[in-house]
Homo-oligomer: A and B are copies of this chain.
């Protein structure tokens, strides 16, 4: 199965939420599994979009019981490791899309780059090695190019 990690803030603004939501729909239409940190904000939006198109969603949860999962997570991976779950989120995707985000997202970007993953960034931290894009269309172009390689 193809899996993309989507990362971003748990307190996304309206515009980030909308982009993540539409990204979730598009990934699901392509049959790509959406994997994320399983919480609110960007994580909720991308899962919600994916579910509305019949996609499959995976949440890498901070707790041992996944109680904090958003309602659109199908499979909860319960780590019990709090923030230390972050490297698992990016290691489990074929590539990574970052939308907005704060320090948690920054730690994930850093781990994705350590692991040599393609990181596509939309209005996120400016880090050397991240491929910055300015629209959902550009994110999708990167996704499609990645898998056609």
A→B interface (CB under 8 Å)? 1, 3, 33, 35, 56, 58, 60, 64-66, 74-84, 87-88, 91-92, 103-104, 106-107, 109-111, 113-115, 125, 127, 129
Contact = CB atoms under 8 A, between A and B. Distances in A.
Given A104-B110, A110-B103, A110-B107, A79 B75 contact: no
22 contacts: A35-B75, A58-B75, A64-B83, A65-B115, A75-B75, A75-B92, A78-B91, A79-B84, A79-B88, A80-B82, A80-B88, A81-B82, A81-B84, A83-B115, A84-B87, A87-B107, A103-B111, A103-B114, A106-B106, A106-B110, A107-B107, A107-B111
Which 4 pairs of residues, A with B, have the shortest CB-CB distance?
A: A107-B110, A78-B91, A106-B110, A103-B113
A115 B83 CA distance: 10
Contact of A1 (B75, B106, B107, B109): B75
Identical chains in the assembly = 4
Chain A contact residues: helix, strand, loop or mixed: mixed
